[in-house]
A = this chain, B = another copy of it.
Amino acid sequence: MTPERKARVAAWFAQLRDRLIEALETIEDAGSRPGATSARFDRRPWQRPGGGGGTMALLRGQVLEKAGVNVSTVEGEFSEAFRGQVPGADQDPRFWASGISVVVHPRSPHVPAAHMNTRMIVTTRGWFGGGADLTPVTVNATDTAAFHAALKAACDAHDPTYYPRFKAWCDGYFYLPHRGEARGVGGIFFDDLAGPDWDADFAFVRDVGTAFLEIYPRLIRRHMAKPWTEAERRAQLTKRGRYVEFNLLYDRGTRFGLMTGGNPEAVLMSLPPEAAWP
């Protein structure tokens, strides 16, 4: 992978981060009491001992109880244990990786939680991966349809096979086998994306990010003003417990990040601010 491509990718993730932060802070402004100071993202840069680093941006607000947007660009060598598990790393353990990860846990049980992540990984090979999915407390068919439609449009602009494949991949991935439950209402998930035209792959990854940026704030705004009951809040905390179970038991990114000595605060940014096991 050329240095120029790596720089373009990392720059895109930083730009998308800025746009997401702006959109989410604008929502906080809209949801705060008149005259009150609305919450802002706190950006904390971190260094990875083995090389590179990132910036974790965290907001704890009125509408968005916890929102995290993390970008990182790291490089180094995979440990012996990981070499056999990562494509193209068995002969040469060096890697470079850049990505953006977004997780939003809204305060209102009526507003769905959401996650989006896109990344490029380079070993002796190079590929993109990522996805976006929605986790409501109670399913709202209109929200689910709108979220999927936005991602489908981003997919269909590139390859008609993407959406059906990546939707099925998402459904299979964000699943809690011990509960027999899906984590949420899905979205898309893809990995090992390395077609013949790198620029086309990169354009698709940008479109996934843009689609999420367009649709998710709309879903927040649709429900953020509606009051909720204590029972609805309890249901939300229980649903968040399932989210914790998924991320710690099964999520590859979480386990990969912790096992490779990633910054635990950044890796576990995805965990909800509060959760319950009633």
Q: Which residues of B contact A113 (CB under 8 A)?
A: none
Q: Which B residue's beta carbon lies closest to that of A268?
A: B277
Q: Least Cβ distance of A76 to chain B in Å?
A: 17
Q: Is A244 an interface residue (CB 8 A)?
A: yes
- Docked Cα-Cα span, A268 to B238, in Å, equals 13
Complex CA gap A155/B275 in Å reads: 38
Tell yes or no: A274 within 8 A of B by CB. Answer: yes
The answer to whether A179 and B277 touch (CB under 8 A), given A248-B244, A258-B249, is no
A267 interface residue per 8 A CB criterion: yes
- Residues in B with CB closer than 8 Å to A241 are 271
* Nearest CB of B to A113, in Å: 14
- How many angstroms from the CA of A178 to the CA of B263 in the assembled complex? 8
- Given the known interface contacts A178-B267, A268-B245, the answer about A275 and B278 at a Cβ–Cβ threshold of 8 Å is no
Q: Is the CB of B267 within 8 A of A272?
A: no
- Which of chain B's residues has its CB closest to A261's CB? B178
Chain B residues within an 8 Å CB radius of A272: 277
With A248-B249, A258-B178, A268-B245 given, is the CB distance from A274 to B275 under 8 Å? yes
List residues of chain A with CB under 8 Å of any chain B CB.
66, 177-179, 237, 241, 244-245, 248-249, 255, 258-259, 264, 267-268, 271-278
Smallest CB-CB A-B distances: 8 pairs: A248-B248, A178-B258, A271-B277, A178-B264, A274-B276, A248-B249, A275-B275, A179-B264
